[in-house]
Structures are given as C-alpha cells and as structure tokens.
Amino acid sequence: MRRMLLAVSALVLSAAPMFAQGKLVMEKRLWVLRSSGEMVEYDPSTFAAKQTVKIPVEASQSPQSIAINRLGQILFAPAVSLPLAESDTQSPHKLWFWNGRTATAIDLGLKREVTTTGSNQAVTESAPAVYLSADGQHLFWFASQARRLQREDVDLSVTVEWQAWRTDTNGAGREDLASVKLPECRCPTGTCEESCPFGVVWIPNNGVADFFLMTQFVAGKTEPVYKASALYKEDGGKWTATPLADALRRVGDAAAGGAVVVEAIPDTGCCGWSNQSNDQTLVRNNGKTITVFDERASYKNADYDVSFYTSTAQLSPELDAVAMTVVATAEVNQPIELSEQGQADPEESKQIRKALTELPAVEVRTLSDAPHRVAFLPHATLVGWLNERELLIVEDHMLVTYNVSTGTRRRSNVRVEDAAHVFLR
C-alpha cells in the first residue's frame, strides 16, 4: 500500500508542473500582424516564431477589425456602419474566420429594404458586428436594426431594435440572446445618427465568455452622447441585462464578470477645439470609482488647446493595478494655441512642451484607495500584461517586456509597425 501511495504521489507531483506549464502557455499567446498579410505567432517567453497564418490582404491594413482569442482563432470582420448605401448590399460583404486549422468565409448578412409608406419611404437596414467567443464554440452577432422614415432622402424618424444572437462557427444555427426595442426617435437635423441612440457593445479582447457591455450611443452632430449602459451576463444558458447607474463612455477593459470596468471620459471639445474639458480615466469596481488618470491634475493644461488622454488601458491579472498608454492631441514641434477660455502662461506652456517630448508613454498605477504611480515609461505604447509583474510594450517599433516590480527590461528582436498590430491573448 505504501508503495502504491508513493507511486500515486510521484504521478501527481510529476503531472503538476506539466499542468502549470500547460496553463502558462494557454494564459498568454502572442501574435503580430505583418503588412505582408501574415499573422505570426511568437513564444512570449523567448520571442521565437511558432507559426504563421496567411490572412486576407485587406486585413493587414485594418488591424482594428481583427479579433483573436486565446485558442488561436482569428476573425476579420470589416466594419460596416449605418446608414447603409445602396451599393453596400449590392456587393457581398463577408467575414473571414480561421478556426485554428482552416479558413472560412461567412456572409455578414447586411440588410437594406426600401418600401413606400404614404408619401414617405421606409428604409429598414441592419449591419451586424461579429465577435469571437472565448471558448471557440460560437460567433456572437450584434446589430441595431433600424427602420427610418425618409422623405426626399431626409430622415424624419427612426425606430431601432438592438439584437444579440450567437451562431456556430460556420454562421449557422442562430440562437437569439437578447433584444432591446428603443422608442421611436425624431430626427430634427435630417440625419438620425445625430440625435437618436443606437446600440454598441464592448467585448473582452479574448472574446465573449460570460458577459459583455451594451451602451445606447448617439453619434451626435458636434459631440457624442452616451444615453444608458447595461451589463449582460450569462447564467445557466440565459443572458440577463443589469442596467448600470451611469452610461459608460469609452471602455478600455473589464473583468470579474463586468464588475470591474476601466472607463475613459473623453474631452468634449468640438468645432476645432481639442481641450474643452478634463480627460479622465476611471476604474469602476463594484460600485466604487477610482480615478487613475486626471489630465488637469497631471498636466495643468487648462489654458492651452492640447489634450492629454489615455488611448488604451488594461487591468492587471490580479486586478490590483492598471496600465495605460498616455498620448496627446499635439506633436512636439507643432505650435500650441490657447484654449477657448485660456490665458497665456509661459510656465504652463513650458511644462506642456516638456510633457509632449515624453509621449506616447506607458503609465502604471495601483488600484488602492489612493492610487499611486508605480511606473512611467516614456516613448512606449502598451500591448498588455504578460503576467502580474510583467508588461509587454512597444519601444522604437520593437517588442519589449518590462518588469513593474524590478524596473528591468527584456528586449526582443521582433519588430512591429505599432502596438495595434500586436495581439496578446
């Protein structure tokens, strides 16, 4: 019996490192998009090339339309927005899906129908947005189906029904998940997008698992309006919406089933002005709000028409820190004008110009009650967290790891166009 127990113990002990190693590999996968139309996977520990996937040439020119999950599935879904033109539905629009072995083209399902209603025209249209699932079993589809009344190509009103559904990875077997029918909305400017809300979603980088966020968003004429947001969660196969207390603006990251959200508050500047309000980045954690970036507090730039803001933000794996890329609306060698209500201040102007020489920069702050900066990396952009201690960043077009605890760097020989062409999953 003792010999058997020893054998079993040895088996468990020998299996544990293999399991840990397997988990480590699954936790982070690194892909780089090449202009040649190839997606190359690298080992994030050694930066050795592992495999290459040929993707459509147009995908290499639109990294924002590419999604990759931790399983290595790749989706290229060209963005198509409302209102649709007649030509949009006359030519096929297909998404490209790589399942890890083979590629498939799936029809995007654009819809535009025109009927006569009295002296008006009724235009019914839909342009789905498609996302990967985290488990690799489904594709998730979201669309605002709009029925707008027009007269002589001028919008009069619109009724929008936002819909969410999922299919298998071939685009078949539709399963409806949720829908919201918004009240009829008048369009006083003649363009409904300027005054009426449409549903937009935020999806985790790794694809849809058990939650996503939906916001009723008005593009607006001079600035966007965020009407309301809801957290959709899956439990036992059923998706349920929970309205949020405040509408979310630009979501950077979310975790813990949507209980923790990183939100950027963009500048309200319009009509040629860049700096008319205070850019902030907030972390909303189970009803508690932590400010991790405050433009006016950090840069004292109220008098000048240059805005500092975070272009990306990601939570650490343990949710105790957030890393952000800080950028600005002005370049180092450009003239800086006064803001709309600004007063000339030579010292303020000097500090702004000095700050611009450091951007873009990666900043890391803790998520304590009084967040403090633990790292600031000039001339860098964020890719993501490799683990609780290490970041992957881009410096001078090269991939670099940075240890937040020790301040040490590990430089690779992998050259990239920019951080948008790098996918860390």
188 in a structural domain: yes
Among 189, 224, 248, the domain boundary falls at 248
Residue 323, pLDDT > 90, answer yes
Whether residues 230 and 270 share a domain: the answer is no
Given this model, what pLDDT does residue 422 score? 99
Each residue's pLDDT tens digit, 234-274: 999 999 999 999 999 999 999 999 999 999 999 998 888 99
Q: Say if residue 324 is in the same domain as residue 231.
A: no
Query: Comparing 12 with 242, which gets the higher pLDDT?
Result: 242
Of the residues 214, 232, 248, which one is the last residue of a structural domain?
248
Number of helices (H) and strands (E) in the chain: give both, helices first: 5, 31
Statement to judge: residues 305 and 292 lie in one domain = yes
- Concatenate the DSSP letters of all residues of 170-222 into one string: TS-S-EEEEEEEPPPEE-TTS-GGGTS-EEEEE--TT-BSSEEEEEEEE--SS
Torsion sign over Cα 162, 168, 171, 175:
negative
Residue 39 lies in a domain: no
For residues 216 and 198, what is the distance between their CA atoms, to the nearest angstrom? 5
pLDDT tier at 15, thresholds 50, 70, 90: very low
145 and 187 within one domain:
yes
Joined tokens for residue 415 = 């050259």
Q: Which two tokens stand for residue 124?
A: 């019914």
pLDDT for residue 86 = 86
Boundaries of domain holding 176: 69-248
- Token code pair at residue 63: 């990294």
Residues 370 and 268 occupy one common structural domain: yes
Q: Are 165 and 195 within one domain?
A: yes
Per-residue confidence (pLDDT) for residue 4, from 0 to 100 = 36
Please check whether residues 357 and 215 belong to one and the same domain: no
Closest among 31, 47, 28 to 39, alpha carbons compared = 31
Half-sphere exposure of 369 (CA within 13 A, CB side): 0
Give residue 27's pLDDT: 67
**Is 411 domain-assigned?**
no
Q: Is residue 358 part of a domain?
A: yes
Asked, for residue 385, whether it belongs to a domain, the answer is no
Domain termination residue (choose one: 216, 248, 280): 248
In a domain, 205, yes or no: yes
342 phi, psi to nearest 5 deg: -75, 155
Q: What is the DSSP letter of 135?
A: T
Q: 103 and 203 share a domain?
A: yes
Checking if the pLDDT of 24 tops 70, the result is no
136 with 256, same domain?
Answer: no
Is there a contact between 103 and 111 (Cβ–Cβ < 8 Å)?
no
Q: What is the DSSP letter of 338?
A: B
What average pLDDT does this structure show over 5-18?
Answer: 36
Detail the DSSP E strand segments found in 244-388.
Answer: 250-255, 260-265, 280-285, 288-294, 308-315, 321-328, 361-366, 373-378, 381-385
Q: Which residue, among 193, 200, 201, has the nearest Cα to 220 in the 3D structure?
A: 193
Q: Dmax of the chain from CA atoms? A: 90
Q: Note whether 74 and 177 are same-domain residues.
A: yes
Instruction: For residue 217, give the nearest of 233, 195, 187 by alpha carbon.
Output: 195
Is residue 91 within 8 A of residue 78, CB to CB? The reply is: no
**pLDDT greater than 60 at residue 17:** no
> What domain count does the chain have?
2
226 and 205 belong to one structural domain: yes
Q: pLDDT of 125-156, one tens digit each?
A: 999 999 999 999 999 999 999 999 999 999 99
326's CB contacts (< 8 A; 6+ apart) are 293, 308, 309, 310, 311, 359, 360, 361, 362, 363
Question: What letter does residue 65 receive in the DSSP assignment?
Answer: G
> Is 158 found in the same domain as 262?
no
Query: Tokens at residue 229, please?
Result: 């947001």
Mean pLDDT across the stretch 97-102? 97
Confidence label for 21 from pLDDT (cuts 50, 70 and 90): very low
CA 340, CA 219: separation in Å to the nearest integer?
A: 23
Q: Which residue, among 413, 389, 269, has the nearest Cα to 320 in the 3D structure?
A: 389
Q: Is the model's pLDDT at 23 over the cut of 90?
A: no
**Whole-number average pLDDT of the chain:** 93
Asked if residue 22 is part of any domain, the answer here is: no
Residue 118 carries which side chain, given as an amino acid letter?
G
- Tell whether the model's pLDDT for residue 424 goes beyond 80: yes
Cis peptide bond prior to 128, omega within 30° of 0: no
417 assigned to some structural domain: no
